[in-house]
Amino acid sequence: MLKIWGRANSSNVAKVMWAVAELGLAHQRIDIGGPFGGTHDPAYLRLNPTGRIPTIEDGDFVLWESNAIVRYLAARSGRDDLWPAALQARADADRWMDWASTSLAEAIDGLRKAYRQPVETRDEPAIQAALANAVAVVGIVDHVLQHAPFIVGTGLTVGDIALGPLLHRWVLVPLDKPHLAGVMGWYERMSHRPGFAAITDHVK
Ligand SMILES: N[C@@H](CCC(=O)N[C@@H](CS)C(=O)NCC(=O)O)C(=O)O
């Protein structure tokens, strides 16, 4: 059975869990990382020398890096709708995966670091700067999603899956933020998918 190493509240593990749900794959997830520890145990480092999560074991095959895992699982299931077969649609979806892991993750993580401080060390100008940056970055996806139901084409792709946990964190940000109609419409539509709804129960 497919083994998935990583705690459920990790945004990168959540991508894999959403993919597994969409694909209907039997799996076993093992809590590791964060408060569970274990990511620097020699046995885990033999699977994943970065000491990060997620990692999967598919028989003898081991893979780490969440985006690569999501693409592998889609291809393994022959789902060329999820990881599009058409070259340009595939490149488009891949691009959103890369962008999510770099620009979007950086903006959301920066914002979370700024506001999740004890009251006495909260730096309000820094929070507002991080918020303005995040609004600009999330605004890039919002612009696309104002005119399209999914980030690429007319169906769910690995691009949406990579964006999902981070846009969920954006929605949870408890600050006075502008209403981004494209992102909020997408979020509402995704929430009807059991695989996405399940990850939002864990990722906070
Ligand atoms: N680029 C990697 C990043 C992996 C990563 O940084 N994972 C975080 C959790 S989201 C981690 O391992 N944190 C340490 C921990 O949970 O102990 C991927 O996409 O898989």
Digit-coded pLDDT (tens) for 31-59: 999 999 999 999 999 999 999 999 999 99
Our mutation pick for probing the ligand 1 site, out of 4, 5, 7, 12, counting the most ligand atoms within 8 A of Cβ, is 12
pTM assigned to the model: 0.97
Counting other chains too, the contacts that 90-94 makes at CB distance below 8 Å and 24 or more residues apart are 92/152, 92/153, 92/159, 93/151, 93/152, 93/157, 93/158, 93/159, 94/158, 94/159
Whether 82 is in a domain gets the answer no
What sign has the CA pseudo-torsion 198, 199, 203, 204? negative
Whether 124 is in a domain gets the answer yes
pLDDT value of residue 119: 86
Among the candidates 52, 76, 100, a domain finishes at 76
Over residues 111-133, the mean pLDDT reads 95
Whether 204 is in a domain gets the answer no
pLDDT value of residue 80: 95
Question: Cβ neighbours of residue 101 under 8 Å, at least 6 residues apart?
Answer: 66, 67, 162
Q: Quick: pLDDT tens for 139-152.
A: 999 999 999 999 99
Q: Quick: pLDDT tens for 56-114.
A: 999 999 999 999 999 999 999 999 999 999 999 999 999 999 999 999 999 999 999 99
Residue 44 and residue 95 share a domain:
no
The residue whose CA has the least distance to atom 9 of ligand 1 is: 10
Number of domains comprising the chain: 2
Ligand 1 atom at minimum distance from 64 CA? 20
Over residues 154-182, the mean pLDDT reads 97
Whether 14 is in a domain gets the answer yes
Whether 118 is in a domain gets the answer yes
Provide the 10 A C-beta neighbour count for residue 191: 13
What domain range includes position 96? 87-199
Residue 94 and residue 66 share a domain:
no
Whether 47 is in a domain gets the answer yes
pLDDT value of residue 85: 96
Residue 103 and residue 46 share a domain:
no
How far, in Å, from the CA of 64 to the mean position of ligand 1?
A: 10
Is the pLDDT at 178 greater than 90? The verdict is yes
Residue 7 and residue 97 share a domain:
no
Ligand 1 contact, 202 CB (< 6 A): no
Residue 133 and residue 106 share a domain:
yes
Mean of per-residue pLDDT scores for the chain: 97
Ligand 1 contact, 10 CB (< 6 A): yes
Question: Cβ neighbours of residue 173 under 8 Å, at least 6 residues apart?
Answer: 111, 112, 115, 131, 134
The residue whose CA has the least distance to atom 11 of ligand 1 is: 52
Is the pLDDT at 15 greater than 90? The verdict is yes
